[in-house]
Amino acid sequence: MKKLISIVIPIYNEEENIPILISELEKVTNALASYSFEFIFVDDGSIDTSVKVIKEFTKKNKNLRLIEFARNFGKEAAISAGIYEAVGDAVVIIDADLQHPPKHITQFIELWEDGAEVVVGVRNNSGKQSRLKQLGSMWFYKIMQRISHTDITPYATDYRLIDRCVVDEFNRFTERNRMTRGLIDWLGFERRYFYFDTPERQHGEASYTMTKLISLGLNSITGYSMAPLRLAGYLGIVVLLVSAPLGLFVLIEQYIMRDPMQLKFTGSASLGIAVLFLVGIVLVCLGLVALYIAQIHTEVINRPLYVVRRKRTQTHTEGQLLK
Ligand code: UDP
Ligand code: MG
């Protein structure tokens, strides 16, 4: 029996990219005749004609499956849904905007056959990203590597191949705030890296806006590390180390030695400074704690990660709607 490779593609407003992507994918998969393939498109609540375009293709290509979300749940949820639905011996995750060149699937599979359980696509360049995004991602990786125990490779993308054993473990994750890359890295397994150049996005606009990226970054910092929480503690210690001798100094100089240095501290001035300082610390700590509580909150209410409107799978006989 041929090995089955599932290709998971999250889609959000990609009507112009889909036909190009499918033809590129077909080129690659046709050349790999010793494997069979299924394409799992996960429509993440697109508001353009993406769904219609994909449905057209399902008529021609029986290996094409479509999962439609009831609304936009974000790329991470879309990828998780695709991975969950995949039945292949390995799953390849790829962006629809052709920034992850499909031709590399061949090399991914070679590495997999060579024993890799996770093949990670790593960007050689950051393409034509804005300077702000580049700087942002550079700092993000620097901070993450410092503070988390998970080994996160800079410029590693979501373009990955994962073996069935990794897929099964991945499906056990229950958290809602998720970053697919981070979770796969956390799992470990035998990893290999594949370096590729990112071409520019073909059509449409990158829908990961700066705010979405920042919130993804913040989520992964609070999700993978307790360092910010400890930071509050460190801050408190530093402030104590500064304010305690200062207070002692004022006490001794002013009240015990009767101001030999003629500094004439007024009581309310020193009190005011001390109070402001302490209020600052308390607010910082509260803010940090709030970040964690927010995360606990989203995990505890235990909502489903996504909502599927319908699934469409072309069986060998006829198109069939799965309930
Ligand atoms: N995407 C998605 N849901 C979203 C945003 C994006 O499924 O809310 C998909 C999008 O269609 C594409 C992939 O995720 O296939 C990467 O998106 P994008 O190019 O906007 O992100 P970037 O390249 O900046 O990481
Ligand atoms: Mg992109």
Task: Tell me if 78 CB under 6 Å of ligand 1.
Answer: yes
pLDDT of res. 317: 39
Highest mean pLDDT (candidates 55-69, 117-131, 215-229):
55-69
pTM above 0.75, yes or no: no
Task: Tell me if 21 CB under 6 Å of ligand 1.
Answer: no
Q: Which ligand is nearest to the CA of 208?
A: 1
pLDDT of res. 98: 86
User: 105-141 burial, b for 16+ CB within 10 Å, e for fewer?
Assistant: beebbebbeeebbbbbbebeeeeebeeebeebbeebb
Percent of the chain clearing pLDDT 90 (strictly above): 34
Ligand 1 centroid from CA 131, angstroms = 19
Q: Which residue has the higher pLDDT, 129 or 80?
A: 80
The helix (H) or strand (E) run that includes residue 308 is strand 308-314
Q: What share of the chain is helix, strand, coil (3-state, %, to 5)?
A: 50, 20, 30
Ligand 1 centroid from CA 95, angstroms = 7
Distance separating alpha carbons of residues 319 and 120, to the nearest angstrom: 34
Domain boundaries along the sequence of the chain = 3-224, 227-301
pLDDT of res. 321: 41
| 153-172 average pLDDT score | 89
Residue 8's CB is within 10 A of a number of other CB atoms, namely 28
Q: Answer whether residue 318 shows pLDDT above 60.
A: no
Task: Tell me if 57 CB under 6 Å of ligand 1.
Answer: no
The residue to mutate among 207, 211, 212, 306, having the most atoms of ligand 1 within 8 angstroms of its beta carbon, is 207
Ligand 2 centroid from CA 99, angstroms = 6
CATH of 3-224, one of 3.90.550.10, 1.10.3720.10, 1.10.10.410, 3.30.70.1090: 3.90.550.10
Which residues have CB atoms below 5 A from the ion given as ligand 2?
A: 97, 99, 206
Q: What is the pLDDT of residues 183-202, one digit of tens each?
A: 888 888 889 999 988 877 76
Atom of ligand 1 nearest to the CA of 72: 8
Task: Tell me if 43 CB under 6 Å of ligand 1.
Answer: no
Q: Is 11 exposed, middle or buried (0-12, 13-18, 19+ CB in 10 A)?
A: buried
Task: Tell me if 202 CB under 6 Å of ligand 1.
Answer: no
Q: Which residue has the higher pLDDT, 290 or 18?
A: 18
